[in-house]
Structure 1
Amino acid sequence: MADQSIIRITKEIGELQKSSDLSLAVAFRDRDVRSVKALIIGPHETPYEFGFFEFAVKFNKDYPRKSPNVTGTTTNSGRCRFNPNIYASGKVCLSILGTWRGERGEEWSAAQGLESILLSIQSLMSSNPYENEPGFEDANESHDKKNQKEYIAKIRHETLRISVIQRLEEYLGITGSCLEPPTPTERDEYDLDMDDDIDIDDASVPWEPFKDLCKRRFLWYYDSYLETIKKAKEEVKDGQPFVRMPFEGTSNTMDGKFNYTELEQRIRRIKAVLDAEPEKWAVEGVSARMKDATVSVNLTRQYEQIRESFKRSDVPHSIELVNENPFVWNLTYFGRPMTNLDGGMFRIKLNFSPRFPEEQPRIKFLTSMFHHRIAADGTPCYFPNPNRREDIKQHIDAIIEALEEEQPPYDPRTLVHPEAHKLYWGSPDERKTYNRQLRRSVQRSMEDF
C-alpha cells in the first residue's frame, strides 16, 4: 500500500510539473516525496492578482484513500488571514480536505488528487472572497457591501506587501529603509558564491524551490503591480487602518494600515536589484570560463551548435557572445516576412547564471518592441519546455513562437504589458491601434539598428 501511495504521489507531482498551467507549481526533495511545497499565483482581476501564495502538503500513508494535510505558509508568520477559509494559522478550510463541512458529494474521494486540491484553493481566491464566509447570503445587504469593499481593499494591499514584496526582499537579502537605493552588499549577499561547497540538504539552508520562478514572474508582472498601486492610491489614503471583518477573531485577523507609497518604493527597489543580478552573473561567468567550469563548457558548446544551426537555416537570425563571455549572448531576431514583424531587426540579450539551469536565463529585448508578450522593460513572456530547461535552443524557439503566434488564446496570466494587452484583446478598433503601434516599433527597429 505504501509503495502504491508513493507511486501515485510521484505521478501526480510529475504531471503538475509538466503542466502548462502558469499559476501552479509544485516541488519536493528527493528524500521525502510525501512532503510537497506548492505555489499558487493569484488569479487576474482579483485582490490576489499575481501574488505568490505557498502551501505545505503532507501526504499520509493512506493516500489516496485519505486526503493530505494542507497548510498555508504565506501568513506573515501567522499574523495574516488571507481569506475566510485560509486562516492566519495556515489552516485551509475545504470540504475535500475534511476541514470544513460540505454538501453531500463534496467530500474527499480517491479520484481527486493534488491538482484538484490546489485548484479548489485557487477558487477561494475570487474577486469577492468575502462571499466565502459562511452565512454571507444572510448578511445585511448595505452593511455587507461596505464590508466586502473594505475586505477586498486590505487583501489587495497585503497580497502585494506580504506575498510579493516581502517574499522577494527575503530572496534578495534586501534590508533597511526602502527610501534608500540598494547597496552593493544587498545586491550580492543573496547569491551564494559559486565556489562555495554547500550541502543542499543542510537543515540550516532554507529550501526555496520557487525562488527563481518568483523572480522571473515578478519581472513579468512588475508593471501590473505598479498599475494596481496607482489605482489603489485613488481609493485609500496612506495611514488609513484596515477594517476588521465580523468573522475575524483575536488571533485570526488581517490587521494593519494602508501605505501604498512605501509599497511602490519597495517594488521599485526590488526591480533595481533584480536588474543588477545578470550583471553579477556576467562577472561570475568570466571566472567560471577561466576555470573551465562545467556550466561554462556547456554554454559554449550550445552557443556553437546554435550558431551553426542558424547558418544552415533559411532564417537570418544570428547570435554572438558579448566580450567572448559564454554567459552573455546577443541574439538578433529578424521579423518573419508577410507579418506585422516583417522587416524588423531586434537585438535580444540572454544572460545565464553560473547556476544554470537551476536558475533560468534572464532575457531582455534591447530593441524596443510594442508587443503584448513583451514587458515595457523588454522582458519577454514565453513558455520553455519544462522538461528541457537546459536546452537554450528551445528557449530561443519559445521566444520566437511567442512573438509570431498569430491566433494566441486569451490568457490573463501572460499580462506583462498592460497597455498592449488591453489593446490586443480589446475591440476591433483597439486591435487596429495595437497593430499600428507594433508596426511603428518594427520601423523604428530598422532605423535604430
Structure 2
Amino acid sequence: MADQSIFRITKEISDLQKNSDLSLAVAFRDRDVRNVKALIIGPHETPYEFGFFEFAVKFNKEYPRKSPAVTGTTTNGGRCRFNPNIYANGKVCLSILGTWRGERGEEWSAAQGLESILLSIQSLMSSNPYENEPGFEDANEESDKKNQKEYVAKIRHESLRISVIQRMEEYLGISSNTTTTPTAAEREDYDLDMDDDDYDGSAVPWEPFKDLIKRRFLWYYDSYLDAIQKAKEEVKDGQQFSRMPFEGSSNTMEGRFNYTDLERRLRRIKATLETEADRWAAEGLTTKHKDNTVAVNLSRQFEQIKESYKRADVPHSIELVDGNPFVWHLTYFGRPMTNLDGGLFRIKLRFSPRFPEEQPRVTFETRMFHHRIAADGTPCYFPNPSRREDVKQHIEAIIEALEEEHPPYDPRTLIHPEAHKLFWGGADDRKIYNRRLRRSVQQSMEDM
C-alpha cells in the first residue's frame, strides 16, 4: 500500500513538472515525495495577478484514499490573510481537503490529486475574493459593495508587496525596512547548510522556485508597473486598509497603502536583476580559467550549434562575446513571407556559472514590437523542462515564440501589455499591431 501511494505521488509530481501550465510548479527534495512545495502564480485580471504564492503539501500514508494536508506559506510571517479561505496561519479551507464543509459530491475522492487541489486553490484567487466568504449571498448589498472594492484593493497591494517585491528582495539580498518572523510551516522549509567550507551555523531556506520566479518577474514587470499606476488613481499613500467583517484580530490583513514606495522598490529589483546577469559574465570568465565543467559544457555546445547551423545552411548565426562562453550573441533573420521578413535582430544570452540550475537570461538588444517580447527586450518563451541544459532548444524555443502565427490565447504570456492588447483585440487592433511590428522589423535593418 505504501509503495502504491509513493508511486501515485511520484507520477502526479512528474506529470505536473512536465506539463505546460505556466501558473503551477511543484518540487520536493532528497526523494521525500511526501513533502512537496507548490507554487501558484496569481491569475490574470484578479488582485492576485502574477503574484507568487507558495504552499506546503504533506501527503499521508493513506493517500490517495485520504487527502494531503496543505498549508499556505506566503503569509508575511503569519500576519497576512490573503483570502477568506486562506488564513494568516496558513490554513486552506477547501471541502476537498476536509477543512471546510461543502456540498454533497465536493468532498475528497481518490480520483482527485495534487493538480486538482492546486487548481481549486487557484480558483479561490478570483477577481472578487470577498465572494468566498460564507454567507456572502445573504449580506447587505450596499455595504458589501464598498467592502468588496476595499478588499480587492488591499489584496492587490499586499500581493505585490509580499508575494512579489518582498520575496524578490530576499532572493537578491536587497535590504528592506520590514522584518518578518517565519511561521511554523515556513520554518520547516529551512535546512542546515552542511558544507564544511562555508557552514556558519545558520539556517538556509530551500528555495526550489527562486530562478523560476526571477525569470517570471522579468516577464511580468510591466504588468506590475501598470497595476501600480492604476491603483495610485484609486487610493492614496498612507490610507489605511479597511478591516472586513470576517477578519479577526489574529486572522486579518492590516496595513497602509504606499504604492510610491512599492514602485521604487520594484524598479530597484529590476536594476539588481540586470546587474546580477551582468555579473555572471565576470564569474564565468573566472571559472573558465579553472576549466570549470559549466564553462567547458557551454563552449562545447557553442561549437556544436555553430557547426550545425553551417551544415544546415541556417541563416541565423551565433558568436561569443569577447570569447566568453557565458555570453552569446544570436543574430536572428526574420522568416521570409511573414511579418518578420527582412528583419535582423540581435539577441543576447547570458548564462550563469550555475547553469542549468539557473536558466539563461535572454534579451533582444534590437527593439521589436511583439506580444511575446517585453519593452525591455525580455522574451516569453517555453524551453523544454526535460532539456533545460540544451542551449539549442532554448534558441529554437525563442524563435518558435517569435514565428508562431496563430498561438492559442493565454493571459499568462502577457509580457508586453500594449502589444498583447492589440494582438488579441479586434480586427482593427490586429492591423495596428501588424503595422507596428513591421515598422520595428524595418527599423532593425536600419539600426544594423
**Alignment TM-score, normalising by the size of structure 2:** 0.95
Match of 2:185 in 1: none
8 Å Cα contact 2:295-2:326 kept in structure 1: yes
The offset of 1:109, in angstroms, is 0.5
CA distance in 1, matches of 2:277, 2:415: 20
User: 1:94–1:176: structure 2 CA closer, same or farther, 3 Å change rule?
Assistant: closer
CA distance in 1, matches of 2:143, 2:258: 25
CA distance in 1, matches of 2:204, 2:237: 37
User: 1:315–1:206: structure 2 CA closer, same or farther, 3 Å change rule?
Assistant: same
The offset of 1:3, in angstroms, is 1.1
CA distance in 1, matches of 2:369, 2:314: 22
Match of 2:73 in 1: 73
CA distance in 2, matches of 1:61, 1:328: 48
The offset of 1:206, in angstroms, is 1.2
The offset of 1:304, in angstroms, is 0.4
The offset of 1:150, in angstroms, is 0.3
Match of 1:365 in 2: 364
Residue type of the alignment partner of 1:329: W
3-state DSSP class of the match of 1:321? strand
CA deviations 1:318-356 (Å, max 9, x no partner) are 000000000000000000000000000000000000000
3-state DSSP class of the match of 2:376? coil
How big is the alpha-carbon RMSD for the aligned residues of Structure 1 and Structure 2? 1.4
**Alignment TM-score, normalising by the size of structure 1:** 0.94
Match of 1:191 in 2: none
Match of 1:351 in 2: 350
CA distance in 2, matches of 1:177, 1:145: 34
Match of 1:120 in 2: 120
Match of 2:182 in 1: none
Match of 2:101 in 1: 101
CA deviations 1:96-132 (Å, max 9, x no partner) are 0000000111000111000000000000000000000
Match of 1:132 in 2: 132
Residue type of the alignment partner of 2:256: K
Percent identity between matched residues is: 82
CA distance in 1, matches of 2:158, 2:177: 19
Residue type of the alignment partner of 1:271: K
Matches within 5 A, 1:277-356: 277-356=276-355
CA distance in 2, matches of 1:281, 1:310: 26
Match of 2:436 in 1: 437
CA distance in 2, matches of 1:123, 1:211: 24
3-state DSSP class of the match of 1:205? strand
CA distance in 1, matches of 2:318, 2:259: 42
Number of matched pairs = 431
Match of 1:86 in 2: 86
The offset of 1:197, in angstroms, is 5.6
The offset of 1:31, in angstroms, is 3.5
3-state DSSP class of the match of 2:385? coil
3-state DSSP class of the match of 2:53? strand
Match of 1:426 in 2: 425
CA distance in 1, matches of 2:359, 2:442: 31
CA distance in 1, matches of 2:138, 2:196: 60
Match of 1:144 in 2: 144
Residue type of the alignment partner of 2:156: R
CA distance in 2, matches of 1:417, 1:198: 42
The offset of 1:314, in angstroms, is 3.4
The offset of 1:177, in angstroms, is 6.7
3-state DSSP class of the match of 2:358? coil
Match of 1:11 in 2: 11
3-state DSSP class of the match of 2:205? coil
Match of 1:183 in 2: none
User: 1:319–1:196: structure 2 CA closer, same or farther, 3 Å change rule?
Assistant: farther
8 Å Cα contact 2:349-2:362 kept in structure 1: yes
3-state DSSP class of the match of 2:96? helix
3-state DSSP class of the match of 2:82? coil
Residue type of the alignment partner of 1:403: L
CA distance in 2, matches of 1:411, 1:196: 46
Match of 1:154 in 2: 154
User: 1:203–1:102: structure 2 CA closer, same or farther, 3 Å change rule?
Assistant: farther
8 Å Cα contact 2:17-2:385 kept in structure 1: yes
Match of 2:213 in 1: 214
Residue type of the alignment partner of 1:5: S
Residue type of the alignment partner of 1:133: E
Residue type of the alignment partner of 1:421: H
2:397 pairs with 1:398: yes
3-state DSSP class of the match of 1:143? helix
3-state DSSP class of the match of 2:288? helix
User: 1:163–1:404: structure 2 CA closer, same or farther, 3 Å change rule?
Assistant: same
Match of 2:26 in 1: 26
CA distance in 2, matches of 1:177, 1:239: 16
The offset of 1:176, in angstroms, is 4.7
Match of 1:48 in 2: 48
CA distance in 2, matches of 1:369, 1:330: 16
CA deviations 1:52-79 (Å, max 9, x no partner) are 0000000111111110000000000000
CA deviations 1:378-424 (Å, max 9, x no partner) are 00000000000000000000000000001001000000000000000
User: 1:5–1:414: structure 2 CA closer, same or farther, 3 Å change rule?
Assistant: same
CA distance in 2, matches of 1:38, 1:245: 28
Match of 2:191 in 1: none
Residue type of the alignment partner of 2:368: M
8 Å Cα contact 2:169-2:176 kept in structure 1: no
Match of 2:239 in 1: 240
2:226 pairs with 1:223: no
User: 1:154–1:145: structure 2 CA closer, same or farther, 3 Å change rule?
Assistant: same
3-state DSSP class of the match of 1:32? coil
CA distance in 1, matches of 2:117, 2:176: 38
The offset of 1:33, in angstroms, is 1.1
CA deviations 1:180-235 (Å, max 9, x no partner) are xxxxxxxxxxxxxxx99668xx9822110000000000000000000000000000
Residue type of the alignment partner of 1:225: Y
CA distance in 1, matches of 2:345, 2:76: 43
User: 1:377–1:307: structure 2 CA closer, same or farther, 3 Å change rule?
Assistant: same
The offset of 1:309, in angstroms, is 1.1
User: 1:197–1:315: structure 2 CA closer, same or farther, 3 Å change rule?
Assistant: farther
CA deviations 1:301-325 (Å, max 9, x no partner) are 0000110111122331000000000
CA distance in 1, matches of 2:84, 2:150: 14
Match of 2:64 in 1: 64
Match of 1:186 in 2: none
Residue type of the alignment partner of 2:118: L
8 Å Cα contact 2:347-2:363 kept in structure 1: yes
User: 1:411–1:197: structure 2 CA closer, same or farther, 3 Å change rule?
Assistant: farther
Match of 1:448 in 2: 447
